[in-house]
Amino acid sequence: MTKQKIFFSYSRTDGASFALRLADDLKKKGFDVWIDQEDIEAGLEWDTEIAKALESCDCVLFLETEKSVASDNCLDEVHYALENNKKVIPLIYVDSRTPFRLSRLQHINFTKDYDTGLALLVNELEGNARAVTYPAEEKTPLKSRMPFLTKNYKSLMIVTCLAVLIAAIVLITSKNKSASAETKSSPTLTDTITNQTGELTGEPNAQMNNIEEEEHKKSEDIIVPGANEGTQLSYTSKYDFVQGDKIIAYEDFNSVNLGDFPLKWNTNASAEVVTVNNKKGKWLKIREKGIFHPEFITSLPENFTFEFDLVVNNANYLSPLCLNIANLKKPEDFAEYAYLVSILPEHAVHLEFGAANATTDGVSKLVTGKMGVPTINNAVNYKVWDVSKNNFARISIWRQNQRLRVYLNKEKIWDIPRAFEAPGLYNAITFAFYGPYGKEDYYLLSNIRLAISAPDKRN
């Protein structure tokens, strides 16, 4: 049987020695292993060689360490492999936070016993199903711990009682303060976003008005921590987005039959046009992992604005919706523009949008580049789109030659002077979805507007 070609994805900071050891052991067992430390010759372009190896491999071994799970480069390698239906096997070397997209994959644990982990990995790579168990861990008998428990039992009970008493006093005090505050000002939620069944409710326009009032004030006061009482800084800002006035493309799906896929779009997955409870118009419902290409957009001017409405159900904030601005050599190339676009020959701009929730900030990621060399790779957090308050987002993108500005619900989240190439030719936009976290997760997309805008007239 032909051995698989294996690519190692890891962080050199805390996984280099282990990766080399494992790579050597797999080579001894006849596997075709590619690892950057041994397989990139002197003088070759590092990023280009990694992109080539990743594209030609059959399987990616992702070495989970504290640094690798936080590395954009490592995660980009894994995402590319998953999107191209390559096998990905996470290997736990150091207990760490497992990336979301890998949480549902079968892991192999090397933290307990290396030889056992290696045997499991070889079995997996060879397609064998033999069961391999880890050595039993020694457990401390319960009786050996009993003297300590008995000795400290009375002290523990006293401390517990005091803690309960203090907590009760704090709770009563906070309730009294809350009741007093509610008497003075009790906010009303007139635009309910979701009901208990998870259905979307409320009017988009009313929700957007609330956002404008609450999230986009033109001036705010900032209290400086630790400053003398009464000392404060203030600043004044402005919503500076100017919508292009010459429309060259528009899509609201009103001419598409419900349940159908729109005629002038293409995809490698599936989507359907729907209406939503108490919402005007029609929406493209995206609930499958894939790329979605509006084929009626065939040219992007040097100066343009691109706007669209995006809706997310409450559970789906963990999986962002992506947008790519690309230059396709032929229409069918759209399927290559999903996530790891900076490894492709033509320059592209990749954006991701994920909503916030009651406990986690929303995140937008920006990556630009080509030929395996990202020129920009960064992420920003925000609260302006929070599914616990509002499912709707209006996203506005403004290109002026090389400059890129992106606005989310009228809040500017990106302003990059040289995001686009100069001169840069771009002729397509693609949307991409990593895939749902749960069975009922989805995005709704509509009111897409592309228009020619004025050039940047700053001196």
Domain of 269: which CATH number? Answer: 2.60.120.200
> What integer pLDDT is reported at residue 100 of this predicted model?
64
With H, G, I as helix, E, B as strand and everything else as coil, classify residue 335: helix
| Residue 223 within any structural domain of the chain | no
Of 126, 153, 188, the one marking the end of a domain is: 126
| Residue 185 within any structural domain of the chain | no
> What integer pLDDT is reported at residue 188 of this predicted model?
33
| Residue 397 within any structural domain of the chain | yes
DSSP 44: S
| Residue 436 within any structural domain of the chain | yes
| Residue 328 within any structural domain of the chain | yes
Q: For the chain, what is the domain count?
A: 2
> What integer pLDDT is reported at residue 111 of this predicted model?
84
> What integer pLDDT is reported at residue 424 of this predicted model?
81
- What is the domain extent for residue 29? 5-126
Of 81, 108, 126, the one marking the end of a domain is: 126
Task: With a cut of 60, say whether residue 201 has pLDDT above it.
Answer: no
Express each pLDDT in 251-275 by its tens digit. Answer: 999 999 999 999 999 999 999 999 9
Task: With a cut of 70, say whether residue 247 has pLDDT above it.
Answer: yes
Q: What CA–CA distance (Å, rounded) separates 336 from 334?
A: 5
| Residue 54 within any structural domain of the chain | yes
**pTM for this model (two decimals):** 0.57
Is there a single domain that holds both residue 296 and residue 434?
yes
Q: What CA–CA distance (Å, rounded) separates 124 from 131?
A: 10
Of 92, 126, 160, the one marking the end of a domain is: 126
Express each pLDDT in 281-306 by its tens digit. Answer: 999 999 888 999 999 999 999 999 99
> Residue 97 maps to which CATH number?
3.40.50.10140
Mean pLDDT check: name the lowest of 122-126, 432-436, 438-442.
Answer: 438-442
Read off φ and ψ for residue 266, nearest 5 degrees.
-135, 155
What DSSP line would sit under 363-405, residue for residue? EEEEEEEETTEEEEEEEEEESSSBTTT--EEEEEEEEETTEEE
Q: What CA–CA distance (Å, rounded) separates 260 from 25?
A: 52
Task: With a cut of 60, say whether residue 139 has pLDDT above it.
Answer: no
> What integer pLDDT is reported at residue 218 of this predicted model?
40
Read off φ and ψ for residue 438, nearest 5 degrees.
-125, 170
Is there a single domain that holds both residue 275 and residue 416?
yes
Mean pLDDT check: name the lowest of 17-21, 23-27, 166-170, 335-339.
Answer: 166-170
The fraction of the chain above a pLDDT of 90, given in percent, is: 39
Residue 171 binned pLDDT confidence (cut-offs 50, 70, 90): low
> What integer pLDDT is reported at residue 205 of this predicted model?
46
Residue 50 binned pLDDT confidence (cut-offs 50, 70, 90): confident
